[in-house]
């Protein structure tokens, strides 16, 4: 079974690359999207079967419900509203990656300073920023809140201090300074990460939200890749890295345009 799972993972990673390649042209983009979706389906089934989390009945029920919700949502959304839909997907992707890291930490809250502990915090931070930032971008594009930039005096200084605070609390979470309850520090760390996502998006106007969503899409990939390192899942590492790299390139191109 282990060999078969690894083969499916390899096939899935290859299909991700092929699908991404075919997205370069409008003529092949639809087929590329279908190939990438099938690759994700293979990866999910292989992972769930390998870890024996659910029975086949549970897998099929989950696929049916998720596919139905996703299919209906995608068909009902106007093409002009597609950035909002992508924003929501980014938010859910970031949240899923963060929850993987959170679950891993809660299983061993005294993990200490090390590669695994740092990776858990990276996945949690990026996932938290992506989650709140993406839904805020959705709210701006959807008109649920003002699309004007929201700024206030000392905003950049506050963002810098918040970033330093995230690093400091992360170090406390891993016990670098000693004396703190790691679980409490971890909860504070999660809250600061989500607050950072809000503060990074609010000063950007609604017209630039598609660029922000592209960047957050990259973040969701990086969060997924970090989650892959946390649980030792190679296909998650590869697919997350592909999304992260392609999202950064797309963001750069959009900024230049």
Provide the percentage of residues in the chain whose pLDDT is more than 70.
93
Instruction: Tally the domains of the chain.
Output: 2
* Average of per-residue pLDDT values in the chain: 84
Q: Of 19, 45, 76, which residue sits at a domain end?
A: 76
- Model pLDDT, residue 52: 63
Write out pLDDT tens, residues 161-174: 999 999 999 888 88
Residue 35 sits in which domain range? 1-76
Q: What is the CA radius of gyration of the chain?
A: 19
Write out pLDDT tens, residues 227-252: 888 877 787 888 888 888 888 888 88
Q: Both 106 and 174 in a single domain? A: yes
Q: Both 71 and 91 in a single domain? A: no
* Contact of 217 with 243, CB cutoff 8 Å: yes
Q: Both 117 and 219 in a single domain? A: yes
200 pLDDT above the threshold of 60: yes
Distance (Å, rounded) from C-alpha 238 to C-alpha 1?
Answer: 21
Q: Both 180 and 241 in a single domain? A: yes
Q: Of 22, 41, 76, which residue sits at a domain end?
A: 76
- Model pLDDT, residue 188: 92
Name which of 12-21, 176-185, 243-252 the model is least confident about: 176-185
Q: What confidence category does residue 175 fall into, taking pLDDT thresholds of 50, 70 and 90?
A: confident
Q: Both 71 and 100 in a single domain? A: no
Give this prediction's pTM: 0.81
Q: Both 99 and 86 in a single domain? A: yes
* Contact of 223 with 197, CB cutoff 8 Å: no
Write out pLDDT tens, residues 118-135: 888 988 999 999 999 989
Provide the percentage of residues in the chain whose pLDDT is more than 90.
14
Q: Of 45, 61, 76, which residue sits at a domain end?
A: 76
> Regarding predicted confidence, which is higher, 93 or 108?
93
Q: Both 30 and 83 in a single domain? A: no
| Cα torsion 143, 148, 151, 156: sign | positive
């Amino acid at each position: 079974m282990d060999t078969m799972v690894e083969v499916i993972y390899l096939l899935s990673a290859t299909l991700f690359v092929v699908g991404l390649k075919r997205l370069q042209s409008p003529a092949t983009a639809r087929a590329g999207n279908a190939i990438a979706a099938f690759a994700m389906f293979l990866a999910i089934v292989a992972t769930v079967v390998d870890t024996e989390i659910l029975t086949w009945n549970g897998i099929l029920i989950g696929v049916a419900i998720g596919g139905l919700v996703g299919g209906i949502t995608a068909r009902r959304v106007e093409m002009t509203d597609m950035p909002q839909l992508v924003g929501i997907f980014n938010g859910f992707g970031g949240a899923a990656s963060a929850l993987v890291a959170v679950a891993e930490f809660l299983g061993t809250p005294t993990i200490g300073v090390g590669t695994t502990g740092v990776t858990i915090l990276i996945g949690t931070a990026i996932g938290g920023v992506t989650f709140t930032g993406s839904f805020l971008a959705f709210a701006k594009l959807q008109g649920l809140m003002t699309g004007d930039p929201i700024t206030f005096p000392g905003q950049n200084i506050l963002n810098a201090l918040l970033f330093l605070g995230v690093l400091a609390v992360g170090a406390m979470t891993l016990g670098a300074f000693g004396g703190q309850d790691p679980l409490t520090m971890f909860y504070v760390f999660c809250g600061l990460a989500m607050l950072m996502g809000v503060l990074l998006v609010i000063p950007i106007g609604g017209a630039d939200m598609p660029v922000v969503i592209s960047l957050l899409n990259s973040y969701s990939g990086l969060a997924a890749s970090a989650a892959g390192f946390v649980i030792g899942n190679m296909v998650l590492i590869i697919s997350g890295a592909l999304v992260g790299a392609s999202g950064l390139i797309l963001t750069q191109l959009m900024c230049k345009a």
